[in-house]
Structure formats: structure tokens, C-alpha cells
Amino acid sequence: MKKLIIKSIIMVFMVTGLLSALEFLAINPSTKDIIAKLSNSEDYMGEEAGTAEIVDVISEVKVQDETTVLVIGDSIARQMFSGFQGECPNVRIDCANAAINISGQYMLVIEYLKNHPNTTDIWLFAHPLTLTRTYDLELGYGYAVLPFAMEGSLKYLDDITLDQMASVYGRAALNGCVASCINASPMNRKLFFSYVRLHNEEYVQSNDYEITSLYVIKLKDLCEERGVSFHFYSSPSTEYYREKIEETREDFESSPLHEVYPDYLDSIYYFPTDWSEDYTHFGGDYANRDTYEHVINEAYDEFFVEL
């Protein structure tokens, strides 16, 4: 019996050692590619770049500078507004993308306000269909959860939201250390996402605007408490999405968001689909400052810089 116990302990140490060595090789830059190939996880190579992009945005809003205005939003807003950065020294433009969800936008604002006590304005621009995003099994974890877990920002979220995330990705995956381990290598990502996709399902909202209602209203209330002006607008949309957006109207009109911003859907500026190369962003001859200024003048009755 004693020999069996000793052999079992030795076996545990050997397996642990082998797994530790494999993990070391999987995260080591010089051997990461080799392990990814051997573990058939090459499809996950480069995914950490998306997470790193959002980590950079989180880091940027934390920078203690002289800005007093924060502009955030989806990738359409980033395309249109990034060129205005630097034209007004008190404005910081940190638009990310739709995949961080509205909860991600909320965490960005929290981090900015913590580091900018003299904030006067927060601007949020979001396409209606980005507001209907949930915590899914595709981009949801890598963008809406992982970078914020690594940066310690998930603590700002409502317990209801953390429970929703945990139901999809597991409670442990919300921990910063665990998140960093998942992000460390393609092999780790494959193991995590393969398990989650096999055993879990994305969070299904009771209303298309359930998560958005919670966090846009939280943002509005938070800004009012701090004496900060909160500006909430839709990003422009191609005509291609008009019907899909209208399909969400019933949910919108029955949501708390409608009670606070009843004109949101009716204020959307639609531009011709042939101005875009991907049905979403401006493309070709229309991806330029002249087009953006034209759309801004048509779409918004106020703007964060004077044109």
C-alpha cells in the first residue's frame, strides 16, 4: 500500500512537471509557434492581438493628462473620429469596437473618471446593432471580458452582469490571473474556448436592449452624480441595416433605455450602402474627412469639436 502511494505521488509530480514544461513552451515566444502547431491550435494564433488592442485602450483612458472630455464608441465611431484627435487638447478619443459590449464602454468611462477629476463631458457613439450584443461564444470573451479581467476593471460591473458572464465563460475565467493564463498562448485559448463552446451557451437577453439599458442608464446617472455632461448618440448606419434595426424597435420601445432616450432609433443617420465596402464602415472614395464632416453635420445637433 505504501509503495502504491509513493508511486502515485511520483506519477502526479511527473505529470505536473510535464504539463508545466508544456505550458512554459506554449507561452515562450521562441517555442509558442511550435507548440501551437503540435497542439493544432494555429487557428488561435494572433487572437491575443485583439485583446491587446483593448488592453491598450484601457491603459489610454487611465493616463492622467489634462483632457476633460472623453469620446468612446464602436469601430464606426473610431473610423470617423480618430482623425480629430489632437485638434482639441482637452479631448481624448478612445473609441474601441462593438465587441467590447456596452459593459466595456462603461468600464472605460469609470477608469477615465477615476483618473480625470476635472472631466466635463463623456460622449458615447454606438450603432444600434452593437447595442444588442450579448456575451457570446465568439468575440465576447476575448474583447468584452478578457482584457478587462486582466486590467482589474470587472469589479466595476453589476453583480447581475458578472453572473451573466460567469454563466457563459465560467466564474474562474473572470479572474485576472486565470484570464492572463488563457491569453498567454494559442494552446491555452484553444483549450478554454473548446471547453466553453462544448459545455456552455451564450447569454440570451430577455430583451435586445437588456444589457445596454442597464449600462447606458448607469452611465447617465454616474455622470449626473459627478456633474459631467453625458452625450449618447448612434453611430451612422448604412441603409443595409435599416430593416434589421427596425426589427429591434419593439424591444427598444419596451426597454428602460427607451424611457430615457426615446428618440435614439429615430435619430439614426443612414448613409448609402455603396459608400461602404463591408456594409458597415465607410470605404473607398468615401473614407475621408470630407465625408465624415458631412455626415457629422447631418447626423448630430452637437459635436465635441467645432467643424
* pLDDT tens-digit series, residues 34-76: 555 546 666 666 666 688 899 999 999 999 999 999 999 999 9
Tens digits of residue pLDDT in 66-109: 999 999 999 999 999 999 988 888 999 999 999 999 999 999 99
The better pLDDT of the pair 8, 63 is held by 63
Distances (CA, A) of 98 to 33, 40, 68, 75: 29, 29, 24, 7
With contact defined as beta carbons under 8 Å apart, do 33 and 84 qualify?
no
Task: Please state which architecture CATH assigns to domain 47-299.
Answer: 3-Layer(aba) Sandwich (3.40)
Does the pLDDT at position 4 exceed 80?
Answer: no
With contact defined as beta carbons under 8 Å apart, do 207 and 255 qualify?
yes
Q: What percent of the chain has pLDDT over 70?
A: 84
Helix (H) or strand (E) holding 271: strand 270-271
- pLDDT value at residue 36: 57
> What is the sign of the dihedral through the CA atoms of 289, 290, 296 and 299?
negative
Determine phi and psi for 124, rounding to 5 degrees. Answer: -120, 120
- pLDDT value at residue 79: 97
User: What's the whole-number mean pLDDT along residues 191-199?
Assistant: 89
Cell digits for 97?
Answer: 469596437
Cell digits for 304?
Answer: 465635441
Does the pLDDT at position 24 exceed 50?
Answer: no
Query: What integer best gives the mean pLDDT of the chain?
Result: 88
| DSSP symbol at 234 | P
User: What's the whole-number mean pLDDT along residues 141-159?
Assistant: 96
With contact defined as beta carbons under 8 Å apart, do 188 and 48 qualify?
no
Does the pLDDT at position 286 exceed 60?
Answer: yes
Does the pLDDT at position 12 exceed 70?
Answer: no
